[in-house]
Structure formats: structure tokens, C-alpha cells
């Protein structure tokens, strides 16, 4: 970052910053001897891993604090709050960190008080020895707990995604395996089928025409009949086949009817074969058409199962944002859908999911992967609340709408038991939980708050009564302040 200007630090300026407002004149003068007031252009102030040489306090401007994770920079704090501090914040420890743990950049020209890290650490230890001992113990304890909770949170998130994907992939993959075995068996049956007397040259053309007409009718058949109509049609075809000596007429009838072929076609085919004096070829014609219809249905089912696998993989990519930069322009509806897809195993059959999306909502600039984690935590909490009362008609409603030109609103509603009034104001606090000790640690909704409110400049509120709970998130359509 380029330094625009630098001047001596004024004790009276320090006194206006909340961190120093209760210090004595002597203490302020002592700090100022090792501090400067500096103004920087927009750009990096320092990078994670560089020597921790300074303690910075924001006087005016805008700072973004980020942490390297998974090969990319993840924004942790975005602030314009006067008096915010960063840099060598743990310089007072007996063994302070030698390098910065975060990266910090200014989004616009920014004015900072810059204090030498070693002198700042010496000042704090000398002036506040009791506080240093307490802070040092708390710092060590917090670091250990923080590492443990982060590890558990990552494991839980990975487990949620994996369980959802495995559940979603299980059915289409099973279908693919079954279809492959069926195709293999049919290939074997065809190879071992006894060679029948071929039709005479005079009937070959008629048979080919009938096969083409049957397969064309099957390809253009879209179904749409009621179950009762289908059953009636199968009865008619089965009776027709049985009267002509076909074995297992019900199996053949169900295949023909599934392809849109009924008694009308069979009567027509019989008449046309009679015209060319080949009524005995009817059996070969029907078996051939039946085989073709079944093969086409298997191929269609295989294509559908493969498409489901592709859709699940696409949803997983959208959910985790594996193939995109951390800050993207994304469709909120697609983010919500991908989250619901990977949570399919968790959202069991006893819970109905209702989607109500406003088509007017435009794609918005956002940290898509982190928003997905926020949706995951909110939706998981909602599902757990409904599962707790085991209501047979539990409904999870996910909706979006445009409240005005600048704001998109996302609502996640459940039909659970509701949240008591004295609890509602605390549910977004870190480590606050109403669950049993072994069921949660209270960081899910806190993470959602930090992502939606702190990182995206949005709002997160809750409305609740005995009929259920509504979590309302509002995000700026133009993205977080300073994101451009």
C-alpha cells in the first residue's frame, strides 16, 4: 500500500478512539512517542505471514480483513468503524506471534494510527499487568477451543454434504447398475434366441413398415392416461393376445400399452399381414416390437438416471463453489436449490419442502459458498425443530422476493414449536444453544449472522409463535458495500 502522508501522533486524537479513551495523559503521551498518524491509498496494508511489526487503529476509511483458507482469501471482517484495530493485536503476550495471522487491505484512502508492535506490547504489559495475565490465559484457551470448534464445524459440514450426495446418488446409480444388467441379459437372450424362418421377400417390406410405424408411434407417445384407462387398455390387449395363443399375454400387453400401442394397432397389423399372406409372422412382429419398446424404455431410464447424477454433481459444485472464485454474481434461487439438494438425506420424507421463488429477483454479487453454509445452518435448525415435535404434516417453506430495487428477501419458515420470546434475541449469539450438550454447540446461527450481516451488509431477523418460525434474511442487490 502506498503511503500518502505521515505525521506525528496527537494524544488528543488517541483519546477520541474508544480503545484509548480512559488512558491518562501520561499513558497517551507514552504511546504517541512510538506511533504515527498515517494515510494510505486503497490497497493492501499487510499480508498474512508477513512480520508482525505494527498495531493499527482505524481513524477514517474502510478496511477488509481476510484469511487464507482452501487456497483462497476468505473475507472475515469488513468495517468502517472508527477505532477498529488490527495487525499485531497479540503483541502483549510473553511470546507474541511473529507474523500477521490475517491480511488487511483498504478499500479507499484510509487514515490509521500506526504503533510499533514491540513498543505497544511493552506498554500494555507494563501498564496493565493483571489484565495481561488474564488475557494471556484467555487467549491460549480460546485458540485451543477455536481450533477444535473449527475442525468440528468443517467435519460436520463435510458430513452433511457427503450424506446428502450419497443419498441422492444411491437411487440413480442403483438404476444404472440394474439397467446395465438388464441390457446385458437381453443381449444374451437375443444371441441365444433360436433362428426362426425368415419372412418371404414379399412380406419383408410390410413387416419393416409395421415396425417403423409402431416405433414412430411409441417415440411420439407422451402418456397422460389415467391409471384406470391404462388398466382397461392392458386388459383389452391381454385378452386379444390370449385369444391368439400368446404365452404370458399380460407382460406383453403392459409393454405395448406403455408404448402407446393398443388393440387398434394389433388389428391393423393383423389385417395387413393377411393381405400379404403372412399371418404367421404376427408373433415375430409383436415380439420384435416388444423388445424394441423395452430396450427404448431402458435407454430412456438410463439417460434419466445419468441426468440425475449430473444434476447432483452440479448441485454439489454450486453448493461448494468448487469451480468459481469466492466472490461471484450468483442466483440466490440456485444457491438455495443446491443447498436443499445436498440436504436431501437430512430432509426426510416426513417433511414437505415448498419453494416459492420470485422471478424478479436478479443475480446478486455475493460470497456464494459462504451463503450456502448460512442456508445450510438455518435449514438444518428448522428441520430439527420440526423433527423434535414429530408432526406428520411438517412443512419447510423457502421463498425469495424483491422487497425493493435494492434488496432481496429470503425467508426460511418451519412449522415447528416456535421459539420462546425470551430466547429470540439470543439465537444469533455465538455459542448460544437450546439443544442438549451433545446435540449442538451454538455456532450455526452465529455463522449465518456473520455471513449475512457482517460480510454481506444484510440483515437477519426472526419471527416466531406456536405455529412455527420464520427466519428472514435481506441482502443488498448490489452486493456488500465496497465489494466492487
Tens digits of residue pLDDT in 110-123: 999 999 999 999 99
What pLDDT shows up at residue 311? 60
Q: In CATH, what number is assigned to the domain containing residue 384?
A: 3.30.565.10
**Is residue 376 over pLDDT 50?**
yes
Q: Which of 307, 331, 356 is the last residue of a domain?
A: 307
**3-state SS string for 230-243:** HHHHHHHHHHHHHH
Asked if 91 and 74 count as a contact pair (C-beta separation under 8 A), the reply is no
Q: Which ranges of 74-193 would DSSP assign to H, the alpha helix? A: 117-127, 129-192
**Is residue 184 over pLDDT 80?**
no
The candidate with the shortest Cα–Cα distance to 142, out of 68, 89, 65, 219, is 89
What pLDDT shows up at residue 332? 93
**Is residue 409 over pLDDT 50?**
yes
Q: Which domain holds residue 211?
A: 172-307
pLDDT in tens, 441-465: 334 677 788 888 888 889 988 888 8
What is the widest separation between alpha-carbon atoms in the chain? 119
pLDDT (average), residues 10-37: 93
The candidate with the shortest Cα–Cα distance to 339, out of 164, 463, 470, 134, is 164
- Domain for residue 132, yes or no? no
Asked if 382 and 416 count as a contact pair (C-beta separation under 8 A), the reply is yes
User: 335 with 301, same domain?
Assistant: no
Name the percent of the chain lying above pLDDT 70: 73
What pLDDT shows up at residue 407? 92
Distance between start and end Cα atoms, the chain: 18
What pLDDT shows up at residue 354? 92
Residues sharing a CB contact under 8 Å with residue 249, sequence separation 6 or more, in sequence order = 237, 238, 239, 241, 242
Q: How many domains does the chain have?
A: 3
Write out the three cell numbers for 447.
455463522
pLDDT in tens, 245-264: 888 888 888 888 888 888 88
Kindly state the helix (H) or strand (E) to which residue 60 belongs, with its residue range: strand 54-60
pLDDT class of 323 with cuts at 50, 70, 90: very low
pLDDT class of 438 with cuts at 50, 70, 90: very low
User: 77 with 205, same domain?
Assistant: no
- Domain for residue 352, yes or no? yes
Rounded Cα distance between 284 and 366, Å, is 63
Rounded Cα distance between 121 and 132, Å, is 10
User: 96 with 178, same domain?
Assistant: no
Averaged pLDDT score across all residues of the chain? 79
DSSP string for residues in 307-335: HHHHHHHHHHHHHHTTTS-SSEEE-HHHH
User: 283 with 334, same domain?
Assistant: no
Q: Which of 307, 332, 354 is the last residue of a domain?
A: 307
User: 381 with 351, same domain?
Assistant: yes
- Please compute, for residue 431, the number of CA atoms within 13 A of its CA located in the half-sphere on the CB side: 5
pLDDT class of 7 with cuts at 50, 70, 90: very high
Q: Is 441 helix (H, G, I), strand (E, B) or coil?
A: coil
- Domain for residue 97, yes or no? yes
- Domain for residue 316, yes or no? no
User: 303 with 326, same domain?
Assistant: no
Name the percent of the chain lying above pLDDT 90: 27
User: 90 with 32, same domain?
Assistant: yes
pLDDT (average), residues 410-436: 70
Q: In CATH, what number is assigned to the domain containing residue 86?
A: 2.60.120.10
User: 7 with 103, same domain?
Assistant: yes
Phi/psi of residue 68, nearest 5 degrees: -80, 125
Neighbours of 22 (CB within 10 A): 8
pTM above 0.95, yes or no: no
Q: Which of 274, 307, 340 is the last residue of a domain?
A: 307
Amino acid at each position: 500500500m502506498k503511503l500518502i502522508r505521515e505525521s506525528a501522533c496527537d494524544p488528543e486524537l488517541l483519546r477520541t478512539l474508544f480503545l484509548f479513551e480512559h488512558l491518562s495523559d501520561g499513558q497517551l503521551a507514552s504511546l504517541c512517542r512510538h506511533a504515527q498518524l498515517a494515510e494510505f491509498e486503497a490497497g493492501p496494508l499487510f499480508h498474512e505471514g508477513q512480520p508482525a511489526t505494527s498495531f493499527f487503529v482505524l481513524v477514517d476509511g474502510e478496511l477488509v480483513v481476510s484469511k487464507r483458507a482452501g487456497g483462497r482469501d476468505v473475507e472475515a471482517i469488513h468495517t468502517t468503524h472508527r477505532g477498529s484495530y488490527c495487525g499485531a493485536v497479540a503483541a502483549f503476550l510473553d511470546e507474541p506471534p511473529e507474523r500477521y495471522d490475517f491480511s488487511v487491505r483498504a478499500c479507499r484512502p484510509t487514515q490509521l494510527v500506526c504503533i510499533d508492535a514491540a513498543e505497544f506490547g511493552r506498554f500494555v504489559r507494563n501498564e496493565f499487568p493483571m489484565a495481561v495475565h488474564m488475557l494471556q490465559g484467555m487467549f491460549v484457551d480460546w485458540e485451543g477451543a477455536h481450533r477444535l470448534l473449527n475442525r468440528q464445524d468443517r467435519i460436520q459440514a463435510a458430513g452433511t454434504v457427503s450424506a446428502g450426495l450419497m443419498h441422492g446418488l444411491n437411487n440413480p446409480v442403483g438404476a444404472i447398475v440394474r439397467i446395465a444388467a438388464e441390457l446385458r441379459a437381453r443381449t444374451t437372450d437375443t444371441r441365444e434366441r433360436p433362428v426362426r424362418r425368415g419372412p418371404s421377400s414379399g412380406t419383408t417390406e410390410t413387416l419393416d413398415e409395421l415396425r417403423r410405424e409402431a416405433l414412430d408411434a411409441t417415440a411420439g407417445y407422451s402418456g397422460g392416461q389415467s391409471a384406470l384407462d391404462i388398466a382397461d387398455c392392458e386388459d383389452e390387449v391381454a385378452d386379444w393376445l390370449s385369444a391368439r395363443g400368446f404365452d404370458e399375454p399380460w407382460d406383453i400387453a403392459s409393454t405395448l400399452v406403455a408404448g402407446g400401442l393398443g388393440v387398434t394397432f394389433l388389428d391393423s397389423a393383423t389385417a395387413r399381414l393377411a393381405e400379404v399372406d403372412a399371418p404367421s409372422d404376427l408373433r415375430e412382429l409383436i415380439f420384435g416390437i416388444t423388445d424394441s419398446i423395452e430396450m427404448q424404455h431402458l435407454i430412456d431410464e438410463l439417460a434419466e438416471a445419468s441426468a440425475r447424477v449430473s444434476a447432483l454433481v452440479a448441485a454439489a459444485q454450486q453448493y461448494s463453489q468448487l469451480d468459481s472464485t469466492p466472490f461471484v454474481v450468483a442466483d440466490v434461487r440456485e444457491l438455495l436449490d443446491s443447498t436443499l439438494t445436498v440436504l436431501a438425506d437430512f430432509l426426510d420424507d416426513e417433511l414437505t419442502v415448498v419453494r416459492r421463488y420470485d422471478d424478479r429477483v436478479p443475480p446478486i454479487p455475493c460470497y456464494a459458498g459462504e451463503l450456502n453454509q448460512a442456508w445450510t445452518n438455518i435449514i438444518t435448525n428448522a428441520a430439527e425443530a420440526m423433527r423434535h415435535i414429530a408432526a406428520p404434516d411438517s412443512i419447510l417453506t423457502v421463498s425469495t422476493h424483491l422487497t425493493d430495487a435494492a434488496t432481496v428477501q429470503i425467508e426460511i419458515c418451519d412449522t415447528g414449536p416456535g421459539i420462546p420470546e425470551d430466547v429470540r434475541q439470543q439465537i444469533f449469539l455465538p455459542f448460544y444453544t437450546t439443544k442438549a450438550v451433545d446435540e449442538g454447540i451454538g455456532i450455526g446461527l452465529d455463522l449465518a449472522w456473520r455471513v449475512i450481516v457482517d460480510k454481506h451488509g444484510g440483515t437477519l431477523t426472526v419471527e416466531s409463535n406456536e405455529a412455527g418460525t420464520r427466519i428472514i434474511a435481506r441482502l443488498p442487490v448490489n452486493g456488500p458495500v465496497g465489494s466492487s
